[in-house]
Structure formats: C-alpha cells, structure tokens
Structure 1
Amino acid sequence: MHSPNQQTPQRKKSKIPFRLNFLLLLVFLLFAALMAQLAYLQVVNGDMFQAEVERTDSSVVTKDVARGQIYDSQGRLLVGNEPESAITYTKNVSVTADKIRKVADSLAKLITMPSGTKLTPREKVDYYLADKNNLKAADNELTKDQKETPSGDARSATVQYQYEVANTMKKNITLTPQETSAAEIYARMAGAYQLSTVMIKNRDVSAAEVAKVSEHLTEIPGVSVGTDWERSYPNGDSMRSVIGSVSSEQQGLPEDEVNTLLAQGYSRNDRVGTSYLEKAYEPVLKGTKSRTQVDVHANNLVTDATTLYGGKPGDNLNLTINSQYQSIVEKVLKQQFDRAKSAGDATYSDGAYAIAMNPKTGAILAMAGVQNDPKTKKESDDALGTINRNFVMGSAVKGATVLGALMDGVITPSSNTQVDDPIYLPATPVKKSVYPAGTYSSLNAVQALEVSSNIYMMNLALKMGKAAYVPHTLINFKDNIFTIMRRYFAMFGLGTKTGIDLPGEIGAYLGPTTNEEGILNSGKALDLSYGNYDQYTLVQMVQYISTIANGGYRMKPYLVQSIQENGTQGQKGAIVDTTQPTILNRVPFTQDELDVVKQGMYNVVHGSMAWGTAHPLKDIKPAMSAKTGTAQSFYIDPDNPTTNPPETTNSSFVGFAPSSDPQIAIAIVFPNLDVDSEGNYNQEVARTMIEQYYKLNNIK
C-alpha cells in the first residue's frame, strides 16, 4: 500500500492524436490544392490546352522542276528532258524505321529495282536492324561496356545503335534476292528528309509496275506514282563533252562543292550540272523549285497542303553553234585523222582538233576534237581538247611575230627586207627554214610569211633583243627578250586564257627563259620567234587569228548566245539575256602594219612563190587567208617515259575568210604526226570548214 503522503505518478499524455490530426490536415490541404489546380486547368485554361492538343505545325516543302534545255543557233534541240514514269516516296513526320521497312518490303513485291545497284554493308545492316525483332536481339547482345560509360551512365541510343551496327556487321548477314531489293528501296526511303520526296525508281518503270503500285497505294503509305525527267540528246554524242553532264539523284551534290551548294539552298540529293556548259550555267538551267506549305497535326499526320509557289522551270540556253555545221566539222576532222592513221602518219598521234569563231563577235561556230590512244588506236570525242590541251603550234604564230616587230619599230611597213641566211650557234644544229639554205638571198615580211621563213623571224628576234649575230658564237640578247616577245604575243591572246564561257580552260605552257646554270637561253628565244617553244591552246590560236582578221580587236569567245525562258509545257518563252560581244583589248598596230601581215597571209594561199605553204586552197571562193605551221615535238608515253622519246611533228593551221570581209576564223592542229608525214590533213579540214560555212550561210 502507498503511504498517505505518497503521490501516485501521472501517465504522460499521448501525442498520437495530434500527429494524426496534422497528417489529416496536410492531406486535406494537398487535396484541396489539387482540386484547385484541376479546376484552374480545366475551367480557366481548358480551351488553351485543348487547342494545344489540336495544334498543327507548318513546314514548307520544295519540289524539283524541269531543267532548262539547250538549243543550237538555229533552234534545234541539243539537250532536252525526256519524261519518264517514276515511283516516289514522301517521308512522313517521325515515321519509324520499322514502318519504313514494312513499306519497302511491300513495294519490293510490286517493282523490280534496276540491276547493278550495289548495297553497301552499312545499308544492308540498317535494313536488317529496321526489323524491331532483329533490333531487340542486337540490343540484348550488347555488352555492359557498350551500354554504359565508364562512370556507369547509360550511353545514348545513337551510340548504342552504332555498337549494334558494328556487332551485326561481324555476322556477315545474308539477304534473299527480294530482301536485297527491299533493302535498296529502304535505303532510299530512310535517306529522305521529313516531308521530302525521293525517287525510288525513275528509270525503265513499266506500265505493269505503275498499275500494281497504283492498286496498292493505301497499303504503302508515302509511296506514289509520278513522273521524272532524264536528259536526252537528240543530236547523239555530238558536243557531249562540251555540253557536260548532270548528276543523278543518287549522286546528288558533288562532294567538293556540297557545302557551297547547300548554302545556296540545294538539297543533298539535288541533280546539278557537274561539268562544262551544264555546270557553268547551273544557276540558269536549274530553275526555281515549287514551294508547298504542309500543316502537320500534333499526332504527326498531315492535315493540309497549300501551294505557295508553283515553281519555274529552268531557262533555256541558245548556243552560237549551228549543229549541222558542227556535225560537218566533226565528220571531216575524223575522216582526215583516220586517213592519217591509214597512211601510217599517226603512229604516235594522240588526236586532232579544230575550232571556228566569228572574228567580229567572238561567237564560237564549231569546236571538235578526236582523241586517240596511240597504243590501242581507240578514238573518242574530245571537243574540250580545244580549250584544255596546249601544243607547240609552230609557224602558224608568225603573224604575231611580224606584227610585234612592226609595233616594236625594228621594221616598218616600207622597210622590212632581211637577209635569209641560216643561223649557226656553237654546239647547236643549224637553225634554218624548211626549204634548202640559199634558196632566197633575202625576203621581205610578206614573202617571209608566204614561204614561212624561220630565218626571217629569228632575225626579228635578234633586232628586238638588241643582239648582234656573229656565226658560231653565243648571242647576247637583252635579258628581257622573252618578256618583249611574249608581251606582243599576249596582245593577240597567245599565252593567256581567252575567257571563254566554259569551265576548265587552261592557259599556256611557257618554256623556261634560262638554262640550268641560270644563263639566258638564247637559242630558245630564237625558237620562240617562229613558234617552236611555247605551247598554246587551240582556242588561243583562233582568238589570235581573229584579232588579225578583225583589225586588232581581241574578242572574248563565247558559246551561249542567249538565255530564254522555258514555258511550263516546254515551249520557248521570252529572251531574258543576250550575250554582247566583249573586246578584251585593242592591239595598237597601225593599218599599214596590219596590211603587211594580211597581205602575207593572203599570199600564203594565193601567192606564186615556189615554197608557198597553202597554195592548194587558192580555188576557194571567196578567197581566204591563212598561215600554216609545223613544229618539232616528241611522243611521251605516260606509262613508260623514256629519255629518248620518238620525235614527232605538230601540224597546225589558222585562217580567216573571206579575206576582204572576214566572217569566220579557224584554227586546226594535228599533234604528234610522224616526222616524214606528207599529208596536208589540216588543209583538207580547213577547206571543208570554209566551203561548208559559205554554203550554209549563202556566202558567195
């Protein structure tokens, strides 16, 4: 028992009811806040969020238009667009690889892909992994290191996929023929941008394939039947090397220009001109793509498409070349080159080239080339050789030498007679003309051009270089003798680019002015005077002879006469631009000085001296003027260079007609003919070029 004075201890009051009440209060407050938030979202902002669910995004999609066409000077079609049926695919927004593969598998049963298409190992694996079951199996095979970084973080899906690809490649998977076809289709589909259209098959699509695909369009979303174009060449292979090429959709943009073209608004799979006229006039020929605004619902379905701009086909090019005349030049050049081969005169020759130009405007009238492999004897078209190959042209340049000397003042129109004695230098073969030494005691400038005197030209170089000639001793030229002569040559276009509107034009090869010891190469300065040292392109040669023909104006050559709009149905539209003749420089000779050279070139054809070089052409009416040339050369075998290459001869020709009112200038070269060649092949080409031009243009 407790004592009366002893108190009973009190129990501590429990705190559980307070905690429970606090939790209940907290839950009530949270619930109330949730209800308030739901009310705010649904009642106050319900319309806004409903609109967000139904929101659509807009994207602008572009589509290719027909490329501009190319016509000759008479309106004949040289390059057109041949329409062809095509199977296309438009990639939807956020479409999965698995869905793309299913469409590809279905489409592979309906069409046959072109033979020769090669799948890359990566394209094969991408198709294989597009099957979600294959992808899941590949994912399960990833190692821990492939799934996680060293710090334990999960690697990105992109990185993991790269590992899955690498692992699958090691298995060397095989595909059935139909799977291979489907993989080719899948590669084209997967490579498309969202909402962009790519060609699945646009060559040789049969009517049966079009029918099958059309019947199953609802089962292959994104696939459609449309049309595409392919470049066509009604004139065959004529001028193909000058016209150039266009890339295919698979090739797309050239690798070396991809960044530049992307910056200009191109897509990677756009077809573009890759060479020559097609490339030079790409901005004109490509046209302007159509633009369509596509509205995409939040569920990634296209809800509407509005055409913003229907597109504009590329403009057409009208060339300066008459395709009929071009064919004539090509034919006669090949005939004469084949004649040289048959006669045994072209053992080492690598071709023949010819070009014609209007000397008053610079318009190119024809350009042709035959390239020959001396080993296989196989020939191919090489019209571009007129602008991207250079040769030692020989005596054909002597008109520039004489006019240079006249402008330099070392001879005058009334005082230009010189002795015609051979030149003897120490340890050097005698330097003379082709005719026997002593044939002429002296010649004036007109006579020297007619008989093509090398001696006369070397004497001009001696005078321009202030050099005294003493037989069998070294010649002491002024140090700038090469500069002096080349400056005069350049006034006519020899040794400098002409500016023709074609990419790929090269300049000239100018030989060294000093020998290995750094001493001025006097003998080569003499060779330069008669065209046996520096190398020029044929387009430079026709520019040079045109400058003489037209009275001293160096004209810029051009191939495109005008640019013309292209109608939506392929019809011709308005002329939007016309090339105006461009004078690059005026050569400062006098009329009297020019008359000396013109008379000499007239006499090359019509003179009476025994060693006149082009007298067989004197029956051409109206009369023409010309200058022939031969130059020493050597055949260098690119596969087996030797220190003693066989000696050959370059045979060249320049001329203009009619002599009294020049309307055409021509230049021809047959490089690397045999040294004993006797055939006047370039003169036969010249005859046809002049006579047929007269005939086509009714010149009498």
Structure 2
Amino acid sequence: MKYLKKQIQSSRQASNSKIPIRLNILFFVVFLLFAALVAQLAYLQIIHGASFQSEVDRTDRTVIQGSVPRGMIYDSKGRVMVGNQANSAIAYTKSMDVKTSDMVKVAQRLSNYITVDTSKLTERDLADYYLSDTKRLEKVMNSLSNAATHNSNSDKISDTAIYKLAVAKVMKADHSYSKKVKQQAAIYKTINGAYQLSTVFIKNSDVSSKEVAEVSEHLEDLPGVNIGTDWERAYPNGDSMSSIIGSVSSEKQGLPEDQINSLLAEGYSRNDRVGTSYLEQEYEGILKGTKSQTEVTVGSNNKVLKSNQIYAGSKGDDLKLTVDSDYQAKVEAALKTQFSAAVAAGDASYSDGAYAVAMNPKTGAVLALAGVYNDPKTGKTTDDALGTINRTFVMGSSVKGATVLGAMMDGVISPTNNVQSDDAIYLPSTPVKKSVYPVGTFSSMNAVTALEVSSNIYMMRLALKEGNADYIANSYIHMDDDIFTKLRGYFNQFGLGVKTGIDIPGELSGYEGSTLNESGLLKVGSALDLSYGNYDAYTLIQMAQYVSTIANGGYRMKPYLVESVESSDNNGNANKSVTNTSPTVLNRVGFTSSELAVVKQGFYNVVHGSNAWGTAHTLKDISPSVSGKTGTAQSFYSDGDSLTSTITSSFVGYAPSSDPEIAVAIVFPNLSESATAHYNLNMAQEMIQDYFGSTDSSDTTSD
C-alpha cells in the first residue's frame, strides 16, 4: 500500500514538472513574436518613417486645359465673315473620386432647373441610367440565370459581360420612361462620359436667364456644376461662301473619327471643336488658339486641394480674306438671278448649276468665288462656291487664246504670218468639223479674226500643223504621236489641266480624255477637238488663272484667298499682322510681247469688233472696256437611263482692257441646245459693273 501511494505521488510530481516547461516554451515563442513585431515597427518607423509619412502627404499635380475662342475670319475690308458668339452654358467638371450615385444625384437635382435635348437618347442610354441605381442593378443581376453568367467550364464570366447582359435585359423589358426621367438620363449621360478632371457642357445653347439664375442659386447642392461661357461660330453673311469657309465640329461631335489619333497626339481633347473642312480645316493650326492651363493639386485621398491658373490661354489668330463681302454678295446674287432666269426660260432643265470666279490678274488674289449647284431631278439648288475648284467642265472656245499662243510658241504661225484657210475639215466616217457659222462664210482669216468670230476650223488647222499632218479631205490623217502632249503642254503653261495651287483643299487638276482608240490608234479627231476646247475638262479657277496670265502679260499667278493672318485679343480687337500672303509667280509663259498682242487684240475684238459673227458685242458699251472670249461646248446630261445632248456656255475676260484690274471666268453647264439667252455675258456684265461701281476707273482704248 505504501508502495502504491509512493508511485502515485511520484507520477503527480512528474506531471506537475512538465506544465511549467510547456508554459515556458509558449511564453518564449510569444516573446519572440512580440520582439519581432517591435523590431519590425521600429524598422518601419525609424528607418522608413519619413518615406511613409511623405506617401501619406503625397499630392499629384495635374494640368487641366481650357478652351479659348476660335480665330475669326474677315473680308478684305475688315468686316466679319465668320465670328464667335458667346453663349451662357451649364458646365460640369468631373472630380477624381466621384461615384455613380453622386452623378445620379446631380442629374436628378439639375433636371429641376434646366431642360436639355433628349432627342438623341438611345435605348442603351436609358438602360445605363436605369442601372445606375445600385438596387436596380443588383436586382437585375440576380435575375440573370447561372447558365448566362457562367461559361461552359462553370467559370463566372467578366463583370463587363454580365453588365451587358443586364443592359440587354432592361432594354428587352421595354420600360416606359417619363419626360423627367429622360431629362435626367440625358444629363447623366453627359457627365458620366466626362474624363476625370475634365469639363463638359451639359447645356451650351439656348440657356435661358432663368436657368442660369436657378442653377447659380443651387450650386452648393450641385457638386461639379458651374456656370460658364461657351463659343459657337456665327455667320453674319448667312450661307455666303459657306462651302469654301467650311465647318467646325460641335462639342458633342468632338474630333473627327478619321483624324482622332493624330489630333490626340497633338494635344487635343476628344470633345474639342476642330475645323472639319476647307478653310476652317486648312487653317486649323492658326484658328484654334492656345488653350488655357490650370494646375490642379490632388491629395492622396483624390480630393482637389487647390487650383491655380498658370496660363490664361490665347484666342486663335484671325484670317483676313482677299474677298470683299459686299462684292461677293453681289456676285452670288447675280449668279442666282441668271440661273433662275435660265430655269424660268426652260433652258436649265438638265443643268447642274452655274459658277463664277473673279480674280486680280496681277496678284492672284481671289475677288469672288460663287457657285450654284442644281439637282435636275428635284430642282433644288444649294450654295456651291467650292465647285469652282472641284468640278470640271469642257469649256469650249474660251480656251482658244491658249491655242493661238501655243501655236505661235511652237512656230507654226507668227504675229506677222498667221493667215489660214477656213475650209471645213472632213475626216472619214466623221461628221464635218466646222465652226458655228455656215461652211464657206470665210475663205481664210488671220488669228485676230479667228478669235473674234471663234473659228473652230482655224484652231484645228493649227493643231494639224503642230502635229505635222498632211491634210487631205476625207482621208485618214497621220499626226505625230505626241500631239496631245504638245497641245496639253502649252495649255498647262497657262494653268489649264493642272492645279492652280489655291490655298483651299480639295482642288482638282482637271480631266484629260483618252489619246488612243480601242484599236490603239491615235484619236486624231479628238486631238482636233482638243484644239478648240471641246475635249478636256478644266476647273473654273483654272480658267480664271489662264485668262489672268494673258491679262497680266504672261505670268501664271498662284490664286490665294487668305490675304493675311492677324492676331487679336479675346474681344476681337485687332493687334498686329502675323503673316501676309505675297503674290507668287508659278511660271512665265514663253511667248513674246508681239505674240501676246495678237491674242489681246483678238480678245478686244470679241467684244468691240465689227464682224457680224463676233460673239460678245453685248459687252461693248461697258465702261471700263472689256476684253474676253466666249465658249460653247457640246455636253451631255445622263439621268441613268438616257443621254440628252446639251451645251456648256462659258466666258473669260478682263477689264480694263489696257491695264486689267479684274479677270473673270464664268460657266453655265448643260443648258438646253435651244437656249438663245447669253447668261454667260449677262453674268460677266454684272460682275464687271459691280466691281467698278464704286471706282472712277475707265478705259476705252483697244489693245
């Protein structure tokens, strides 16, 4: 018994001795962990404390750019052709920490004070607004089947994909939205689409004074909303030259899709306004100005701490054009009047418009560009001043001045030896090639008379000589293979068939007819047609450049529409000239003064001559005197099913005859073959009289 007690006592002692050892081990481990924690805290606080503190205090500085007024466009007298109209605007600046729920609240509150356009809201926009409510979103998400939200491997699809399913379900449900909700959705769409720290306009047109007052009164309840000013293009002269001036994108349209990457690389924002066509696009870099810059300091909590404007921005520079807006308006009105007269007389049933250009022949400065485009099927007309540079027409006899001078430069005739037979040209299996007057009217004539009476035969015989052809009536004619190249080469020197270089994008170079037939043989008959302007097609600005080259003594001047670039302040007050356009000589045509005198005398006689077959005698009483050349070309109108024969009527000229100050070019395409009225000459008369209406210039001498 004593032994048993002794064993139990010994066992208890052993057990009691083990407990402190375990506790000691546990305490020791806890001590080590605690020591490691203290060491780590000491390491972080003592060694890296400063860096962590700086991270807590870290701020980011971001530069925000603001829009500035676009440069204006003035006429040659300093009158505004394109200006800027300041409008009150309701704007929203998106902060960095804004939540969807915050934007929804702003949209709901703001809808109580303003009315916005909802016509462009899509079903997707409405669905996005519907799901901006987190409870609705959660409800719709939960209603989606497991099969829809998981793939074949039972893995959940992306949140974006699931949201698309939710949107599709809402759209399918065809909810009925009140006008109020649509207003809220439109506002939400605008502010939700803004980038962080960027400003968008919620409403920037037709903002009433009441809307401004109410929004201003409640700005504290509308975080991010502010009252500002926006600019839009204003056109005091209406649609005048609208196709030449071009257009500017709206804030909603932003950057054009086909230029977005390059423009973003240049520092534009996606919703910036930019010139999208013609002068507005060509001079975008000048007109856009320099954006304002505001430095915004953002704390580590994404709160804006302060903002400081570091650059106020600079309004875009202005363009001063060579066009006098009053004269431009008169040319446009006269062109519309003449075309309307043609319509009323039944002469324009197939015509696709009318075009006119006025230019300073000595400098190349464009004085007026006007165009009327007509749709023969609907009879609807639109402004198409751009058609003067991007439409081509077969001009007819008005190009004959270049034909005669080309022949003299080629040496086949000379100022003192230029008489030719005026017998009609007969080719095998081809209608007789003759002039408008009856065959046999003239037996022969010189170059001056040929221009006065507009002899096609004379021009064709020049081409035969230049092509080294031996003409025998009713026999096939062999001409040099380079006859087309030769004739066109001379025409090109005057600007016919080549780009003029005008400072407007989209200019065409013209159209050249084929030189070989289906059998690969030279089209001799077409070469003859080319000589009197009835084959290749040219733009009207080329015709103006061509006649200016004759008027100024042989210098092909580069046409230009922008006279200068000028700086001004934000109120439009002129400051100084930045650049001025200097007249540019593209080439000097290689004729002599005596050769030019022949053609200028012919052009003078076209108007002032006594021959009964003269083509522009109705202009002879204009003061100052006019010299020029008419043209009539065969043309065709196609409605897709049939082809109707028509005529294209043109005129080129200059005044005063002895010292030209203005050159004009006019074309009325696809008139009725039975038309007897001289719309081209009527237009020329009005253009020249209107131009000199306010001057004392006069000239009655012959050249």
Q: TM-score with structure 2 length normalisation?
A: 0.95
Matched residue SS, 1:352: strand
Cross-structure match for 2:440: 438
**Residues 501-528 of structure 1: CA distance to partner in whole angstroms, max 9, x if unpaired?**
1112122111111122222111111111
Q: CA deviation at 1:175?
A: 1.9
Once the two structures are overlaid, the 10-residue window that deviates more, 542-551 or 122-131, is 122-131
Residues 505-514 or 394-403, more deviating: 505-514
Q: 1:657 Cα shift?
A: 1.1
CA contact (8 A) 2:471 2:477 kept: yes
Render the CA deviation track for 1:460-511: whole Å, top value 9, x for unaligned: 1111111111111111111111111111111111111111111121221111
> 2:40 is matched with which residue?
37
Deviation at 1:376, TM superposition (A): 2.5
Match of 1:198 among 179, 197, 200: 200
Q: Secondary structure at the match of 1:127?
A: helix
**2:70 is the alignment partner of 1:67:** yes
Residue 379 (str. 1) matches residue 377 (str. 2)? no
Q: Which of 570, 575, 578 lines up with 1:576 in the alignment?
A: 578
Q: Aligned ranges for residues 483-562 of structure 1 at < 5 Å?
A: 483-562=485-564
Query: Which whole-Å CA distance do the structure 2 matches of 1:424 and 1:17 have between them?
Result: 135
CA distance in 2, matches of 1:190, 1:228: 20
Measured on the aligned residues, the alpha-carbon RMSD in Å equals 2.1
Query: Which residue is equivalent to 2:189?
Result: 187
Write out aligned runs for 1:641-656 (5 A). Answer: 641-642=641-642, 645-656=643-654
Following superposition of structure 1 onto structure 2, how do residues 168-179 of structure 1 map, counting pairs within 5 Å? 168-179=170-181
SS at match of 1:294: strand
Name the aligned partner's letter for residue 599 of structure 2.
V
Q: Do the aligned partners of 2:241 and 2:385 also contact (CA within 8 Å) in 1?
A: yes
Q: Say if 2:341 is the partner of 1:333.
A: no
TM-aligned CA deviation for residue 63 of structure 1: 0.5
Q: AA paired with 1:650?
A: T
The match for 2:371 is 369
Q: Which amino acid letter does the alignment assign opposite residue 99 of structure 1? A: D
Q: Which position in structure 2 is the counterpart of 1:663?
A: 661
Letter in 1 for 2:184: A
Structure 1 residues 220, 46: CA separation in 2 closer, same or farther (over 3 Å shift)? Answer: same
Cα distance between partner residues in 1 of 2:157 and 2:542:
63
Match of 1:635, SS state, is strand
The answer to whether the aligner puts 1:103 opposite 2:106 as a matched pair is yes
Name the CA distance, whole Å, in 1 between partners of 2:133 and 2:364.
63
1:272 equivalent in alignment to 2:274 = yes
Cα distance change of structure 1 residues 153 and 95 upon mapping to structure 2, 3 Å threshold: farther
- How far has the Cα of 1:16 moved from its partner? 6.4
Q: Which piece of structure 1 moves more, 454-463 or 337-346? A: 337-346
How far apart are the structure 2 equivalents of 1:18 and 1:611? 136
Moved more, 40-49 or 298-307: 40-49
Cα offsets for 1:530-574 (capped at 9, x unmatched): 000111110010011111111111111111000010202221111
- In structure 1, C-alpha distance between the alignment counterparts of 2:581 and 2:151, rounded to whole Å: 64
Q: Which residue of 2 aligns with 1:212?
A: 214
* One of 603, 606, 631 as aligned partner of 2:605: 603
Cα deviation code 1:219-258 (max 9, x no counterpart):
1100111111111111122111211111111111111111
Residue number among 471, 474, 479 corresponding to 1:472 in the alignment: 474
**Secondary structure of the structure 1 residue equivalent to 2:68:** coil
Take 1:330 and 1:106, find their aligned partners in 2: how far apart are those partners? 50
Match of 1:24 in 2: 27
SS of residue paired to 1:326: helix
Give the deviation of 1:348 after TM superposition.
1.1
Say yes or no: does 1:672 pair with 2:675: no
Report the 3-state secondary structure (helix = DSSP H, G, I; strand = E; otherwise coil) of the residue aligned with 1:536.
Answer: coil
1:451 matched to 2:453: yes
In the aligned structure 2, how far is the partner of 1:413 from the partner of 1:38? Answer: 107
CA-CA distance at 1:145 after TM superposition: 5.4
Q: Runs in 1 of length 4+ with deviation above 6 angstroms?
A: 10-16
Partners of 2:356 and 2:583 lie apart in 1 by 22
Partner amino acid, structure 2, of 1:59: T
Within the candidate set 280, 283, 293, 1:281 is matched to: 283
For 1:553 and 1:46, the matched residues in 2 are separated by 80
Letter in 2 for 1:695: G
Matching residue of 2:701: none
Cα distance between partner residues in 2 of 1:641 and 1:409: 47
CA distance in 2, matches of 1:146, 1:266: 41
Task: Name the CA distance, whole Å, in 2 between partners of 1:626 and 1:21.
Answer: 121
- Matches of 2:143 and 2:38, distance apart in 1: 48
* CA shift in 2, pair 1:697/1:73, >3 Å: farther
CA shift for structure 1 position 182: 1.0
Report the CA distance between 1:353 and its aligned residue: 0.6
Where 2:348 maps in the other structure, the secondary structure is: coil
- Tell me the equivalent position of 1:128: 130
Deviation for aligned residue 1:622 = 2.2
Alpha-carbon distance in structure 1 between the residues aligned to 2:292 and 2:486: 57
Query: What is the one-letter code of the residue matched to 2:342?
Result: A
Secondary structure in structure 2 of the residue aligned to 1:251 = coil
How far did residue 52 of structure 1 move?
2.5
